[in-house]
Amino acid sequence: MSSSVIDEQAVDALFLEELRDWLSDHLVGEFAAARGVGGIADDSRWELRLEWERLLARDRWLNISWPQEYGGRGGSIRHELLFHIEHARAGAPYWVGSQGRDLFGPTLMAFGTQAQKDRFIPPIVAAEEFWGQGFSEPGAGSDLASLRTSARLEGDRWIIDGQKIWMTFGDHADWLYVLCRTSKEGPQHRGISMLLVPRHQPGVEVRTIRNIAGGAEFCEVFFTGAETAADLVVGEVNQGWKIVMATLGNERGGTTVLPFLASFERQMDDLLEHLRSRRGDVDPVTLDRVVRSWQEYRVLRQHTDRVLGAVLEGRHPGPESSLVKLFWGTWHRDFGELLMEVLGQRALDEPDDPLVAEHRRVWLNSRAETIYGGTVEIQKNIIGERVLGLPR
């Protein structure tokens, strides 16, 4: 074994020791009682999670690989990933700034101007400003290239008109990163730009959407003559498609999936504990489904480890990240149905029982996971064309 490998392992060991000690000291009280609460698309316990996020930011645990001048530690991608793994494993509350921190922030670091980075990155890392993603529209969901929200340049201002939907945490956002059609010439995907738009202005109306499980993390947003500065374009005008693809790659793979996997692990453990408590009072067919579900979850973990391995090596996950999104959405949908089947009549007779309520919430929320973040059909197309090399 080379000395460089030994040195790397020693540095990792010191980093993990510091991180685990910090989590042990701070994951106490209300934070400990809220272990595992929240997620990248879950608005529960917002204020508590905000307090936890600001505690992490204070001690520079967030965006470890980002430069120190932006609030990071200037560390390695490896340590960034190790942090996410340990944070998820500890069951710590999931921060509320995921849209800015995990999706928009990396995009801005890669494609933004120096002035944009200096203005927006530090408040993201410090949990002082929050972002909403303006991509999907009522008629342009998975087919983003057909979007119709428009932006025209008038002097030193962009004027924006249109509608966006399914904006996660949009009602908490201070700024929105919005895909707009800035040209009607040429192929659809070549006339798109990403604009940074202040949310608090007369031309922006945000309406919350309550989902089937009672959550209100989604919003629809209406732009009516909304304005933003001419220089608040990420990348070149009309060349926003590659930036969109980079952002969606961040969303479908890498560290953003870790909190989901941590919650899936806890849900599986809860199911197994429930079955043990019934002391054999479960039919063999249901038990067989549980075993197969557990096996499929391990397959999901293997695919995720492969994507995370690419990140550790400094590579972008690429189209292979679609495998994770495909397995994740379909597996969890089926697992939610399995939870309700195991509960049986109890799901109707004891709706207020904590276990029943939690399993019902998982089941209802899982129905949308084959749609948001890229539908199952879109993921299959990406895998077929870009991973397997099949014709369109």
Q: What is the DSSP letter of 166?
A: E
Are the beta carbons of 84 and 45 closer than 8 angstroms? no
Residue that the structure tokens 């929320």 belong to? 365
Instruction: State the Cα torsion 229-235-238-243 to the nearest 10°.
Output: -120
Token pair listed for 185: 């010439």
User: Phi-psi region for residue 346, left (φ > 0), alpha (ψ -120 to 50) or beta?
Assistant: alpha
Name the active-site residue from 251, 296, 320, 350. 251
**In 227-283, which residue ranges form alpha helices assigned H by DSSP?**
241-252, 258-277
Residue 168, SS3?
strand
Helical axes 241-252 vs 321-343, angle rounded to 10°: 40
Has 251 been annotated as catalytic? yes
Distance between CA atoms of residues 387 and 83, nearest Å = 29
Catalytic residues: 251
